[in-house]
Amino acid sequence: MFGRRQQRWPHQDAALRIVRSAQSEQKKRRRIFDSGHLRLAILESIDERTRDGFDVIAALETRCGGLYSPSAGIVYPMLSLLEDQGFIAAHELRGERKRYTITRAGQLHLDENQPFLNAIHARFGASPADGSGSGERSGGASGLREAFARLKQALVLPGRAGHHDAARLEKMQEILTRAAREIEAL
């Protein structure tokens, strides 16, 4: 009564459910790390050298080419878990941050999970051991981000100012279509 709920036919409800589910699927983001992979990435970064929690965060951000930076609320509990599992050991020197080193059990765990580490390396570029992770390649993911930012600026900002006429929009569409084809052909 009083317009709180509109009268709808059954097919309208079904159509709304389909639209809403499609919208929710679009909003879902792909997880950066699959289950357990973040733990392996943290363990591998500690295997490279002794690190504190902030250094682990920085190493993962570099490895992901700046596309992902784990929060302290994710990393520190994971460090505690790895310490409880006996994969890392914590050392604290007079008021300094805890520094973590890998244990023999941690190295064995990395060796056993090498296929998963290879999947992580494939997703973010080459192995960190060879120094060619995504963040260190020329351009890399940060170069793509800069290119996307320039593209956004070129497409969106003039549109807000009302500088788009029909001919300009058509030319922009042609350029973007051609660029998409060239990228797909790579």
Question: pLDDT-based confidence at 135, cuts 50/70/90?
Answer: very low
Indicate the domain borders of the chain.
37-137, 141-185
> Which has the higher per-residue pLDDT, 138 or 97?
97
pLDDT above 80 for 65: no
Which segment, 20-24, 52-56, 144-148, 176-180, is predicted with the most confidence on average?
52-56
Whether residue 126 is predicted with pLDDT greater than 60 in this model: the reply is: no
CA distance 62 to 33: 15
Residue 60 near residue 45, CB atoms below 8 Å: yes
pLDDT at 163: 60
Listed in sequence order, the DSSP H helices in the chain are 10-27, 37-48, 53-63, 72-84, 104-112, 114-124, 140-160, 166-185
More confident residue, 74 or 155: 74
Pick the CATH number of 37-137 from 1.10.10.10, 3.90.228.20, 1.20.1250.20, 1.10.4030.10: 1.10.10.10
- CB-based contacts of 54, cutoff 8 Å, min separation 6: 72, 97
